[in-house]
Amino acid sequence: MKTFLISLLLLIFATAAMAQEKEIVLATTTSVENSGLLNYILPIFEKKTGIKVKVVARGTGAAIEMGKRGDADAVFVHAKELELEAVKQGYFINRHDVCYNDFIIVGPKNDPAGIKGLKKAQDAFKRIALSQSLFISRGDKSGTHVKELQIWQIAGINPKGQKWYLEAGQGMEKTLRIANEKQAYTLTDRGTWFAIRDKLDLAILFEGDPVLFNQYGVMAVNPQKHKHVKYKEAMQFINWIISKEGQAAIASFKDKSGNQLFIPNAK
């Protein structure tokens, strides 16, 4: 009886270990979660491979730091310069472009700063600053925040500390909700906007400047840095999301009005 119980316990532990091996941690940006993209594509991957994906959504900066610490197996984010720098530093390997959309500036429908119709994002930001219209920043070192700071720099303006500039320190959906409550301007990715726009009393007031291009990329945590990471399974995910099947899944993800939220562009 004792031998049977020991064998049973060993079987249970072995089964649990096998189940654990079939799960990876994906550190990702809030926009691919808030938009619903991951809820749409991950079941397809999990059914095909048997690998569960545990999603931890943070700002891009925080997601990359998770990977650097070895607290994730792969990251899926949208700040290409930061990603390439982290690869150069040796923290990640096998980075690939996955898909893109763009950033837009949304705000009160009456557009108090008068940015609608402008051609350059930097000019829109200048108008917001000159009119001292309230602007809500992610303020969380996310890809969106990095892009926003880049535009302020191009505009020659340092908004930090200004009474009209509020740093939310939140993800994209929460930042949009704050902007809605305060009837303020904010920079958002188009995917999250389409996902929750029906709940907001805001409008798209600026779009189309090439500087607002928003590239998403995926990369694996370097197993030479952290030997415990599940590199093999992470690469199965990466190879799938850049495959024809994964890219087709991304392309087929649309909002209820039929708008395509992400354009696949893996090479």
Q: So where are the chain's domains?
A: 2-100+215-264, 102-212
pLDDT at site 19:
46
pLDDT at res. 3? 53
| 2-100+215-264 shares its CATH topology with 102-212 | yes
Q: What are the DSSP calls for 240-267, one per residue?
A: HHTSHHHHHHHHH-B-TT--B--EE---
Tokens 């979660």 identify what position? 33
Side-chain-facing half-sphere of 152: CA atoms under 13 Å: 19
pLDDT at position 34: 85
What is the amino acid identity at position 102? D
**For helices 80-88 and 60-69, angle between their N-to-C axes, nearest 10 degrees:** 20
Handedness of CA 74, 79, 80, 81 (dihedral sign): negative
CB–CB of 213/121 below 8 Å?
no
Q: Report CA Rg, the chain.
A: 21
| Below-70 pLDDT ranges, the chain | 1-21
Fold of 2-100+215-264: D-Maltodextrin-Binding Protein; domain 2 (3.40.190)
Query: Does the predicted TM-score (pTM) go above 0.95?
Result: no
Architecture per CATH, 102-212: 3-Layer(aba) Sandwich (3.40)
pLDDT value at position 2?
Answer: 53
What's the CA gap between 261 and 145, in Å, rounded?
A: 20
Beta carbons of 219 and 93 less than 8 angstroms apart: yes
Residue at 58: amino acid letter: R
Residue 111 gets which letter from DSSP? -
| pLDDT tens-place string over residues 209-237 | 999 999 999 999 999 999 999 999 999 99
